[in-house]
Amino acid sequence: MKIIHCSDLHLDSKMETNLSSIKAKERKQEILNTFERMVSYAADNDVEAIIIAGDLFDSSRITNSTKVRVLNTIGKNKKIKFLYLCGNHDENNFISLLEERPSNLLVFDKRWTTFEVGNVKISGITLDENNCNAIYDSLNLKPDEINIVVLHGQISSYNSKDKAENINLTKLKNKNIDYLALGHIHEFLKENLDKRGVYCYSGCLEGRGFDECGEKGFVLLDIDEKSIKAEFVPFAKRQLVELAFDITGFDNWFDIEDAIIEQSKKISKDNLLKVTLKGKYEIKLDKHIEMLEQKLEKFYFVKVKDESILSVKPKDVEKDISLRGEFIRKVLESNLTDLEKERTILVGLKSLLGEDL
């Protein structure tokens, strides 16, 4: 038997942090399409259930078109059970506003609820400030059954009413859990829970920002009479990729461009690329950030972030009798921090050259 574990789809995200309004709308649609593709994958591969471990939507403001498409996708795949746990972004609005729920959409409550899928017992609970400290003592699973537990939250070593999303793994050990399906963290992570079971974050289905780089997808569970085999399945339409490039030692901007463009050839043009400049550079290096972005326009989206640090010392300008040299020396002798000195020098040099600040 096969079950999919996914989470943190964040449907209806605005996607406007980096993208233009046109591409933000397109990415918003692509994320919804990926959910539908995942369900089609499940139907084609005899998956009996899909566990959604929280944050199906990004906020309480769900467009009617998205809600209709999600319900239609669930409703027309009646052979698949959809086990839905509300996350901290869901706020129960999707379920509470439904006049009629598809019969194959099963929802976990704020008390332990268990559903049967074949020979597997799947138990879950929506965490809040009222139940977060009591869930461990009230979880009772039989040792001779295959048990999956579903939670949405952050792993922590303590519990608090102020942190309802905290999950104390220590208190879940030796509870007869075979697979702990978690949501909330957007990276895939699978580790041993105890001698019997594992805990796993499936990660998000599609990355939305450059804090969500790398492969994204879902976890496919292959279950026999005694055990669960978990495999991560990359499934995102696009990846967000960060290319960190150290410019230390370069004195020619065009050499930097050539090296970055060469490295970028390994990255699919369908992806979103962020180039981060690192290291130290000398004052004689003339940067052309916008030019580099233009040369990388083959990617679906590209941005260049300059985190490199200007390396300039008094001896570098001690023989420079120009206005530029005098300005730099005055700044270096000031009480400004190193970062403030760098920014002041850069702004001053642009001003002296008549460039836009």
| Domains held by the chain: number | 3
The pTM of this model reads: 0.88
Co-location of 104 and 151 in the same domain = yes
CA dihedral 342, 345, 348, 352 (to 10 degrees): -130
Decide which of 234, 256, 283 is a domain's last residue.
234
Residue 250's domain is classified under what CATH number? 3.30.110
Co-location of 149 and 267 in the same domain = no
Among 9-13, 193-197, 295-299, the minimum mean pLDDT is found in 9-13
Co-location of 32 and 108 in the same domain = yes
154: Cβ–Cβ under 8 A, 6 or more apart, which residues?
Answer: 163, 165, 166, 167, 184, 185
Co-location of 189 and 270 in the same domain = no
| Helix segments in the chain, DSSP class H | 21-44, 64-75, 93-96, 253-264, 289-295, 323-332, 338-352
Residue 168's domain is classified under what CATH number? 3.60.21.10
Co-location of 183 and 48 in the same domain = yes
For 31-75, the pLDDT digits (tens) are 999 999 999 999 999 999 999 999 998 776 778 899 899 999 999
Co-location of 324 and 205 in the same domain = no
For 188-224, the pLDDT digits (tens) are 999 999 999 999 999 999 999 999 999 999 999 999 9
Decide which of 179, 202, 234 is a domain's last residue.
234
The pLDDT value recorded for residue 199 is 98
For 254-276, the pLDDT digits (tens) are 999 999 999 999 999 999 999 99
pLDDT reading at 355 higher than 80 = no
Co-location of 40 and 147 in the same domain = yes
The pLDDT value recorded for residue 73 is 96
The pLDDT value recorded for residue 261 is 97
For 100-153, the pLDDT digits (tens) are 889 999 999 999 999 999 999 999 999 988 888 889 999 999 999 999 999 999
pLDDT reading at 353 higher than 70 = no
Candidates 336, 84, 95; CA nearest to 346 is 336
Mean pLDDT for the stretch of residues 171-193: 97
Candidates 65, 71, 126, 66; CA nearest to 104 is 71
pLDDT reading at 98 higher than 90 = no
Co-location of 189 and 316 in the same domain = no
Co-location of 48 and 146 in the same domain = yes
Co-location of 77 and 181 in the same domain = yes
Q: Give the distance from CA 150 to its chain's centroid.
A: 19
Helix (H, G, I), strand (E, B) or coil at 182: strand
Decide which of 212, 234, 256 is a domain's last residue.
234
The pLDDT value recorded for residue 89 is 62
Residue 284's domain spans which residues?
Answer: 239-311
Co-location of 193 and 336 in the same domain = no
Co-location of 290 and 178 in the same domain = no
pLDDT reading at 159 higher than 60 = no
